[in-house]
Amino acid sequence: MKNLSPSYLKHQFLIAMPHMADPNFAHTLTYIVEHNANGAMGLVVNRPQELNLADILEQLRPDVEPPASCLQVPIYLGGPVQTDRGFVLHTSEKTYQATVALDGLSLSTSQDILFAIADGVGPEKSLITLGYAGWEAGQLEAELADNAWLNCPFDPEIIFGMASDKRLNEAAKILKIDLSLLTSQAGHA
């Protein structure tokens, strides 16, 4: 009998299947930040909110007028957990007070990265979210077994090089799948 080690999905994309019923994840593309025996954490990368960086900075530095460029920096809904907490997924040329390296990317959670982005000295490319997606031990594996998700290799161009409404379908193309051709009904053999 083979001893199989678990296959974890860190640094991959999760593609919500068309039949995903949970409104928090329907039609989403999620980047998996961490996945191990204790659970998983990810950031939804294709759901912009009605907020921009200027809105956030008005709360963090009320006496400083945000630069006009901050109006063009969208804030994404990263998931339903801790929606008042910010996460910045970014290229790794710089680190900040709270930065974790992720296979060629970085994740920062301290305010200094937001100020750096606003001041034009931040990372070359970044995506800012409020909240994250979290799964308890075994939960994501069970959802994968129930055909709620597809997973595919991560491609930074999908996050940093294209409009948010194109990201889900582009990730599916990595698997040579057209999501519009999949049924919205779950099936089990």
Quote the Cα angle for 80-118-92, to 5°. 70
Give tens-digit pLDDT for 37-70. Answer: 999 999 999 999 999 999 999 999 999 899 999 9
Please report the domains of the chain, with CATH numbers, ordered by start residue: 12-181 (3.40.1740.10)
Burial 109-121 (b: 16+ CB within 10 A, else e): eebebbbbbbeee
What does the pLDDT read at residue 26? Answer: 95
Pairing of strands 74-77, 126-136: parallel
Which one, of 135, 124, 130, lies nearest residue 10 by Cα? 135
Give tens-digit pLDDT for 3-15. Answer: 455 679 999 999 9
Displacement of CA 76 from its chain's centroid (Å)? 8
What does the pLDDT read at residue 152? Answer: 97
Model confidence pTM above 0.85: yes
How would you write the pLDDT of the chain (189 residues) with one tens digit per residue?
444 556 799 999 999 999 898 999 999 999 999 999 999 999 999 999 999 999 999 999 999 899 999 999 999 999 999 999 999 999 999 999 999 999 889 999 999 999 999 999 999 999 999 999 999 999 999 999 999 999 999 999 999 999 999 999 999 999 999 988 876 554 444
- To which H or E segment does residue 60 belong? helix 53-60
Which one, of 153, 139, 174, 188, lies nearest residue 36 by Cα? 139
What does the pLDDT read at residue 189? Answer: 46
- To which H or E segment does residue 108 belong? strand 105-108
